[in-house]
Amino acid sequence: MSPERKIGDRRIDLAWLMLVLLSVGGAGIGSSDANAVLVAVGVSLVMAIKLRLVCTYFLELHEAHPRIRRAVLAFCHGMPILVILTTAFGDTLSRLTGALVG
Amino acid sequence: MWVGIFCEITEFALLFAVFFVARAHHPEAFQAGPERLSLLAGTGYTLMLLTSGWCVARALHAMRRGDRRATVRWMLAGFVFGLGYPTIKVFELQRNFALGLDGSAGVFIVSYYYLTFTHLVHVFWGLLGMMWVIVRTGLGAYTTEEHSGLEAFACYWHVTDMIWLMIFPLFYLLG
C-alpha cells in the first residue's frame, strides 16, 4: 500500500459520523409525502453516498484488484439506479415480467 | 476471500431482482408496506451495523500499527455493536407478530422476511467469524506483517454492512 493512499483513523471516524448522519437524514427523506419518484431519487442518492463511503473508508476498495473494484462498484452503483428505474417504470417491468409471474 | 464475497453479492443480487419484480407487480402492497414496519428498528439496525463496521475498520488499523491490545478492544466493541442487530431483531419480531405481520401478511411482508432473514444468517456467520478473529488476535496469531485473516473477516463484515445499506431503504423508506 502506497503511503499517500493510506486512510487515517480520523478519516474513518469522519466517514462513520457521515454515515450515521446520512442514515438518520435518509430516514427523514423516506417519511416525507413527496412524489414517489422524487423520494426514490432522494433515497437512492443517500444510499449511493453511503455505499461509496463504506467502499472507500471501511472496505478500502481502492486497494483491491481493478476487476474486483469495478465489479463491487457496479453492484453499489447499479442498486440505486435500479431503485429509481423500477420506481419510475414499474408498469413496464411488470409487463416485461408478466410471463414469469403468471 | 473475494470468491466468497462475490457469492454473497450474487445471492443478494438475485433476491433484489425478485424484490423489484414483486414490487412492480404489487405496487399498492409495496407502497403501503413501510408504514407497517418499525422505522426505528430499521434505523437501529443500520446504526448498529455501521458502528460495528467502524470498530472493525479501526481494529484493522490498530493491527497495522502493531497495537494488538487496541485491536482486541476495537474488535470487542465491534462484536458488541454487531450483537445489537439480532437483539433489535428479537424486539422487532415480537412487535411484528403482535401486529399480525407473519408469513401470511402479504407479498411485501413475505419479501421482507425472506431478504432480512437471509441477511440475518450472514450477520450470524459474521459474528461467529468475529469471535474467532478476536480469539486469534488475543493469542497473537496476527502480526503487523501478516494479518490476512483479520483483513478477510473485515472485508466480509463490510460487505454484509453494504448489503444492509441496500435492504434498509427498500423496505423501510420507499413507500
Tens digits of per-residue pLDDT, B144-158? 999 999 999 999 999
Question: What residue segments make up the domains of chain A, in order of their start?
Answer: 3-101
Q: Which residue of B162, B170, B171 to mutate against A (max A Cβ within 10 Å)?
A: B162
- Residue type at position A36: A
**HEC readout, B23-42:** HHHCHHHHHHHHHHCCHHHH
Q: State the number of CA atoms in the 13 A half-sphere of A60 facing the CB.
A: 20
Of B27, B158, B169, the CB nearest to A43: B169
B106: left (phi over 0), alpha (psi -120 to 50) or beta: left
Going by C-alpha positions, the residue among B121, B103, B100, B122 that lies closest to residue B112 is: B103
CB B165 to CB A54 under 8 A?
Answer: yes
Tens digits of per-residue pLDDT, A28-82? 887 777 788 888 999 999 999 999 999 999 999 998 999 999 999 999 999 999 9
Nearest-Cα distance to chain B for A40, in Å, is 6
Q: How far apart are CA B30 and CA A43, in angstroms?
A: 16
Tens digits of per-residue pLDDT, B111-146? 999 999 999 999 999 999 999 999 999 999 999 999
Higher pLDDT, A3 or B101: B101
Spell out a b/e string for A6-21, using b for 16 or more CB atoms within 10 Å of the CB, else e: ebeeeebeebbeebbe
Q: Which residue of B3, B10, B54, B157 to mutate against A (max A Cβ within 10 Å)?
A: B54
- Secondary-structure class of domain B2-173 per CATH: mainly alpha
pLDDT of residue B88: 97
Confidence band for A1, pLDDT divided at 50, 70 and 90? very low
CB-CB contact of B12 with A72 (8 Å)? no
C-alpha cell at B134: 478476536
Q: How far apart are CA A71 and CA B167, in angstroms?
A: 19
pLDDT of residue A37: 87
CB-CB contact of A8 with A29 (8 Å)? no
Tens digits of per-residue pLDDT, B11-27? 999 999 999 999 999 99
Phi, psi angles (nearest 5°) of residue A18: -60, -45
pLDDT of residue A26: 82
CB B43 to CB A91 under 8 A?
Answer: no
ipTM: 0.92
CB-CB contact of B24 with A86 (8 Å)? yes
pLDDT at A89 over 50: yes
Burial of B67 (0-12, 13-18, 19+ CB in 10 A): middle
